[in-house]
Amino acid sequence: MELININIEGQDYQVEKGLTILEAAKKCGYNIPSLCTYNHGECSLASCRVCLVEASENNGPKKLVASCVYPVSDGMKVTIGSPKATQARRTSVELLLSNHNRNCQECEKNGKCELLYVAQVTGAREGMYEGAKTPTTVDRLTPSIMRDTSKCVLCGRCIARCGKAHGLSVLGFERRGFNTIVGPAENRSFQNSPCILCGQCTTVCPTGALMEVSEIDKVDAAFAEGKHVVVQVAPAVRAALGEEFDMKIGTPVTGKMIAALRRLGFEKCYDVNFGADLTIMEEGTELLHRLTEGGTLPMITSCSPGWINYAEYYYADLLDHLSTCKSPHQMQGAVIKSYWAKQKGYDPKDVFVVSVMPCTAKKFEKDRPEMANKNGKDVDAVLTTRELARMIKRSGINFSRLPDEDWDQDIMGEYTGAAVIFGVTGGVMEAALRTVYFKLTGKEYGKIAFNEVRGNDAGIREASLDIDGTTVNVAIASGMRSAKVLLDEIRAGTSKYQFIEIMGCPGGCINGGGQPYVKPCFLPNEDDDILDTYKAKRAQALYSEDERQVVRQSHNNKQIQELYEKFLGEPNSHLAHELLHTSYNPDRERFD
Amino acid sequence: MSEQIRTFAELEEKQSACTKCMDEKFSGKDGKRHVVLCGGTGCLSSHSDKIREKFSEVVKEKGLEDKVTVNQVGCFGFCSQGPFVKIYPEDTLYRMVKIEDVEEIVESDLINGTVVERLLYVDPQTKEKITKQDDIEFYKKQMRIALHACGQIDPENIDEALGAGAFVGLAKALKMDRKAVIQEVLDSGLRGRGGAGFPTGRKWSFVPDTDEPKYLVCNGDEGDPGAFMDRSILEGNPFSVIEGMMIGGYAIGAENGYFYVRAEYPIAVKRLQIAIKAMEECGLLGDDILGSGFNFRVHIRLGAGAFVCGEETALLNSIEGKRGMPRPRPPFPAIKGLWGHPTCVNNVETLATVPYIMREGAAKFASIGTEKSKGTKVFALGGKINNVGLVEVPMGTTLRELIYDIGGGIPNGKEFKAIQTGGPSGGCLTAKNLDTQIDYDNLIAAGSMMGSGGAIVMDEDNCMVDVAKFYMEFICDESCGKCSPCRIGTKRMLEILTKITEGKGTMQDLEDLKELAVNVKTNSLCGLGQTAPNPILSTMNSFMDEYIAHIQDKKCPAHVCKNLMSYVIDKDKCFGCKMCQKGCPANAIHVIEPEYIGEGKKLPAMYIDANACVKCGACIATCKFGAISKQ
Amino acid sequence: MAHLQQSAVKQIEEICDRYKDEDTPLMMILSDIQKEYGYIPLEVQELVSEKTGIGVAEIYGVVTFYSFFSLKPKGKNVVGCCLGTACYVKGAQQVIDKFSEILGIKPGETSEDGMFTLDALRCIGACGIAPAVQINGTVYPKMSVDKVAPLIEQYKGGQA
């Protein structure tokens, strides 16, 4: 690592060569306001001009440069606080504000809005440069993601993220000059574009231009109607919810989260982990069946609704490869409205199931016609982690002072470590293999180590597993850019795998589109490289919970065993198929 | 298969044969008469192609085919007097020729040897008829380096180009070391003609000496409104630009050159294509050119109507099939350009100048011009000036010489007000700058810039606030929308200017406008935004009184801004003929009540109802008595 | 793509194939399609996306960036008024206003009968003959307000 000498605000520093001024300054203890740039050039258009500083090279004249892209050089002198630089940054922000829908009070991004943050730190003046605004488009047609161009600052982060995560260009810049907007082709709704609704774009958007469509009102209405409102929470939520309450990233908050849910009035609080264990039973059995009876291989997991959307739109010819299992929360929802309701003596129509998910695509998934039966929808409302935090905050609950409480244990309270790690890429695979191994060998398998043979860039990991002389080749991909590689192999007939796990979001559910925003400007106590490490930190929170579980294999979950004995019969039974399995529709109307 | 030019010797042989041919044509030694017609866009729009066909027809009819040739050549530059017909060897120049004139020219001049006097150019000052091109004031002070052979050769004929010295410079360069070629261009002092004036040799020297692919790109996305230098060069002598590109390519180690030309220039593109094909066929493009081991291929890419693509990084994005949004620099294109490889982007006029430098030597080029600006510059002279057209003058020529000697001054006895150089990126220079010597640094010092060479003259009838608004409208329309200062800032500046021209401005608006202008200049990502406020800043600097008149007096001194002016009829001059009333689309003209008959007039005078008037100006055009004026 | 005729699909595929050896052929493909059909609707962009692997949003972004590309069909006669500086200072605004008034359309629009499209052009480099108007590629020099109506009549009659 080559070090060079630079000078910032009259102080000498040694920094790594190759850094941008912004990065170098951060390492030296200076936070230069910035807006359009995102994490080491994931987005680096240098277009917002909010990070301008004065710099001189080779003792030349000072000039204003965009610190987010301008590299440091030996002997460079940087001034951040000069009148010229501060005025320049302020003007850039004032101009952005002049073309911004400033209904900040009502904006759900309030508190996490990076534009508001830079407005504050640059000292932007009220009402400068008022004038006409770019014509606005508001898209609220999908149940998952809304787009409001009146809030957009054209930073391009969403476009970059969609491309980086999925290799897709669902979003793009359109038109030119003052009329430029970001949107799907022809400024259509997400409803009519090949968007998989994963919500990754919402996690990087600095403003309220891209957000989830909130379903808090639906939940409120269910309470008001006096329904039996049951909540179930996905594993990844507990690994991130604490962030919304200023806890360090990676702090597991399962106990406090449950306590909060009780205080919000939910009749029962269940962990989707139960559903995850159920999924493993069904999916593991399906895999065994396909392996031994000659079904379509490789089989691909079906827990991630973003991935399902992608498969239906882009790889409709491969839908036979998908496991027919519903995702865990849908399975569990179906069980709540049948098995649980029956035990409670409730009419399923009076039961309202709320899922708290790290995901925006789940909002769409729950509305699929396949996800309902005579008992109504499996799941009635899906809240993101962020929405749950909002509900907790508005109820005046001081989250950090809550006691740790436990899930309702009545009939769906037990879960295994296998289920917990569903929230991490590779988790479903690992959990399933633990059970498949047992079913095939009658013995428990310890830990499966996955070798990252293809490196991190492709995001694909693969392994070979010897189960009593049978070699099972497996692969894991998260994000559609990686998945595409595996899918193209299948299409070409060259795939060597029997089992593939695909997750829609890069890194799996812990990095889902509904998770708390990781915005370094609002996280003064996190490390400088938090955008590189937050996924690992959240994953660690889940892995540590897996390790703490006594039972770590789904098939050893006593309540699952009971569910099969008393209700479903056996995995893949007729009733199990009716309640827990689904089908796919390549001609889904929303894409027309 | 056409004749091959595969070695230096073959090239020299061919050149001398073609030169002889051209000499004979100009001197008449071949015993023939040669009719040439301007084939530039301006003259073509006045049907010079049909006139040429007519000439061929009549020549054939009269049985003169053995004695007379008819050809087209590139732009003569004197566009306002087109279409032009020139006859060699006498060098007789006819202007504003129409199809009906062809028979007379053939009959009188070609057959009887009598010049058709009525088609000669008349000097507006001396009223003298002038026969030869070089005797016309417009041409006298010009010096043609970038426009070399434009208007002399048939741009679609490689032999004529060879006869006019094409590829002499290339041959010389290919015999030199690459570094020596760069040194030669450095020594010449040539600076980029596209606007910024960066030394061309230095730009070439930035390209690293590595093995990866490299590219030389010719920026022909000439977009400044009022500028057509590059178009005329490409139309008049495409070979010189290709030659310059090849020399540059050789110097930086590129094997591929790309022309990026505006789609609005179909004739330029067609001639480039013909030239490239001719060169490929004879081996002047391709592998092992002239046996030197140098490989070079030329490709054409068309723009699609985006001014910002004249910015070099936006241009590269456009070639790469993307939106033409500029990239941040560094990395500079010389390090990371087209498809991530080292790339040099040079303007058309720059490349057209390079063959001269190689042919004649750096010293000769450097002897022309001022201390820091060498050689010549082509200007597109337009607007309120008598001699509209394309002129090439040595650096150091004064604005006065440009406007009055070459340009023939302001028409209709109006007062010179300003000259805008540098298009929407430049500024206005006024009467006090008339003796400024034109070069890069002097123009910047005077508050404008060289730009690509548009020079628009304005007279007392032009409102400078309106002019600033015109440029801001243009920029606002052409801003790519990427960076916020340009995307939003130009819109806001336009809004303030609109307010002022509508008479709704305040003095505070002027303060805001200035602050905004300064910030957009410093904050914007690319050259387009960084120079966008220049027309505002320079007009505010020179014509603040006009801004203030719009705001405080609610008057547009030049009577341009519709909200701040009115049409009035002088009742004493009005004959009451009612011609104006008939032509008024708004029914705003009526007889004065009670009736008023001016002295010596017979009919009652008219007046214009200011509330109903839509200010179209139709009445002023119909009044034969000059009774209507703007106030 | 159900809306595209088979012959059009074939031709667009042929245009895409023309540039299959180019690294970045998008601009060339779009230019050819624009030239061939006069506009590039979304269905065509989807087809180009399928052939080239470039995302539709990206193609749409390019089409809407460049003023030469059009999403809607242009009129039978395309009237372009140059609004370059040289033309502007000589009254080009009044000329385009007159076209606008007579044709009943704003710049950028096409008349309902599909006969005329009115465009404001960037400098077409015909400054020597300002103000210039270009109709279907033919340049009319030194235009003035009173020449507009007769010129339109000429094209209405289909003589030009």
B338 touches chain C (CB under 8 A): no
Q: Is A365 a catalytic residue?
A: yes
The answer, yes or no, to whether residue A452 has pLDDT greater than 50, is no
Q: What share of chain C is helix, strand, coil (3-state, %, to 5)?
A: 50, 10, 40
pLDDT of residue A120: 96
Q: Which of A283, A387, A430, A526 is catalytic?
A: A283
Domains of chain B: 32-140 (3.40.30.10), 158-366 (3.40.50.11540), 376-459 (3.10.20.600), 464-553 (1.20.1440.230), 566-630 (3.30.70.3270)
C133 touches chain A (CB under 8 A): no
Residue A399: φ, ψ to 5° = -60, -45
Mean pLDDT, rounded, of chain A:
91
pLDDT of residue B228: 86
* CB spacing of C57 vs A176 below 8 angstroms: no
The answer, yes or no, to whether residue C158 has pLDDT greater than 70, is no
pLDDT tens digits, one per residue of B460-514: 999 999 999 999 999 999 999 999 999 999 999 999 999 999 999 999 999 999 9
Substitution target from B488, B514, B518, B530 for chain A, most A beta carbons within 10 A: B488
* CB spacing of B481 vs A176 below 8 angstroms: yes
The answer, yes or no, to whether residue C137 has pLDDT greater than 80, is no
* CB spacing of B263 vs C68 below 8 angstroms: yes
Please give the Cα distance from A326 to A275 (Å, whole number). 10
Confidence of residue A43 (pLDDT cuts 50, 70, 90): confident
User: What is the pairing mode between strands A210-212 and A11-16?
Assistant: unpaired
pLDDT of residue C2: 47
Averaged over A283-298, what is the pLDDT?
A: 91
* CB spacing of A172 vs C65 below 8 angstroms: no
The answer, yes or no, to whether residue B86 has pLDDT greater than 50, is yes
pLDDT tens digits, one per residue of A6-24: 999 999 999 999 999 999 9
pLDDT of residue A455: 39
Q: Is A283 a catalytic residue?
A: yes
Confidence of residue A335 (pLDDT cuts 50, 70, 90): very high
pLDDT tens digits, one per residue of B34-76: 999 998 877 887 889 999 999 999 999 999 999 999 999 998 8
Could you tell me the pTM of the whole model? 0.92
Q: Could you tell me which of A100, A140, A132 has the C-alpha nearest to residue A119?
A: A100
C60: nearest CA in chain A?
A: A185
User: What is the pairing mode between strands B286-289 and B215-220?
Assistant: unpaired
The whole-angstrom distance between B322's CA and the closest CA on chain A is 11
The answer, yes or no, to whether residue A451 has pLDDT greater than 60, is no
Averaged over A427-450, what is the pLDDT?
A: 76
Substitution target from A97, A128, A129 for chain B, most B beta carbons within 10 A: A129
Q: Is A374 a catalytic residue?
A: no
The answer, yes or no, to whether residue A330 has pLDDT greater than 60, is yes
- Cα A567 from chain centroid? 34
CATH 3.10.20.740 in chain A is located at 3-95
Confidence of residue B518 (pLDDT cuts 50, 70, 90): very high
Q: Which two tokens stand for residue A476?
A: 């894991």
pLDDT of residue B110: 92
Phi-psi label, residue B226: left if phi above 0, alpha if psi -120 to 50, beta otherwise: left
Question: Domain A134-212's class?
Answer: alpha beta
Confidence of residue A588 (pLDDT cuts 50, 70, 90): low
Phi-psi label, residue B361: left if phi above 0, alpha if psi -120 to 50, beta otherwise: left
pLDDT of residue B80: 84
Contacts B314 to A, Cβ<8 Å: none
B306 touches chain A (CB under 8 A): yes
CATH 3.40.50.1780 in chain A is located at 217-591
Contacts A160 to B, Cβ<8 Å: none
Contacts C129 to B, Cβ<8 Å: 42, 45-46, 79-80, 82
Q: Which two tokens stand for residue B407?
A: 């340009």
B304 touches chain C (CB under 8 A): yes
pLDDT tens digits, one per residue of A164-177: 999 888 999 999 99
The whole-angstrom distance between A481's CA and the closest CA on chain C is 13
The answer, yes or no, to whether residue A340 has pLDDT greater than 50, is yes
Please give the Cα distance from B374 to B350 (Å, whole number). 12
- Three-class HEC string of A297-362: CCEECCCCHHHHHHHHHHCHHHHHHECCECCHHHHHHHHHHHHHHHHHCCCHHHEEEEEEECCCHH
Q: Which two tokens stand for residue C105?
A: 């359309």
The answer, yes or no, to whether residue A590 has pLDDT greater than 70, is no
* CB spacing of B523 vs A64 below 8 angstroms: yes
Averaged over A380-393, what is the pLDDT?
A: 97
Q: Is A323 a catalytic residue?
A: yes
Computed on alpha carbons and rounded to an integer, the radius of gyration of chain A in Å comes to 25
Please give the Cα distance from B569 to B514 (Å, whole number). 39
Q: What share of chain B is helix, strand, coil (3-state, %, to 5)?
A: 45, 15, 40
Averaged over A245-258, what is the pLDDT?
A: 95
A176: nearest CA in chain C?
A: C65
In CATH terms, the fold of domain A3-95 is Ubiquitin-like (UB roll) (3.10.20)
pLDDT tens digits, one per residue of B321-365: 999 999 999 999 999 999 999 999 999 999 999 999 999 999 999
User: What is the pairing mode between strands B256-261 and B294-302?
Assistant: parallel
Task: Please give the interface size between B and C, counted as residue pairs whose CB atoms are below 8 Å apart.
Answer: 152
Q: Using CB atoms within 10 Å of the CB of residue A105, give its burial: 0 to 12 exposed, 13 to 18 middle, 19+ buried.
A: exposed
Please give the Cα distance from A231 to A391 (Å, whole number). 13
Averaged over B108-133, what is the pLDDT?
A: 91
Q: Is A286 a catalytic residue?
A: yes
Mean pLDDT, rounded, of chain C:
88
pLDDT of residue C124: 75
Q: Which of A83-97, B304-318, C123-137 has the lowest mean pLDDT?
A: C123-137
The whole-angstrom distance between A591's CA and the closest CA on chain C is 13
B478: nearest CA in chain A?
A: A177
* CB spacing of C45 vs A185 below 8 angstroms: yes
pLDDT of residue A448: 54
pLDDT tens digits, one per residue of C70-119: 998 888 898 999 887 778 878 888 899 999 999 999 998 889 888 999 98
CATH 3.30.70.20 in chain A is located at 134-212
The answer, yes or no, to whether residue B619 has pLDDT greater than 80, is yes
DSSP states along A220-264: HHHHHTT-EEEEEE-HHHHTTGGGGGTPPTT---HHHHHHHHHHT
The answer, yes or no, to whether residue C1 has pLDDT greater than 80, is no
pLDDT of residue A111: 92
Substitution target from C45, C60, C63, C122 for chain A, most A beta carbons within 10 A: C60
Name the helix (H) or strand (E) containing B8. helix B8-27
Q: What is the CATH number of domain A217-591?
A: 3.40.50.1780
The answer, yes or no, to whether residue A449 has pLDDT greater than 80, is no
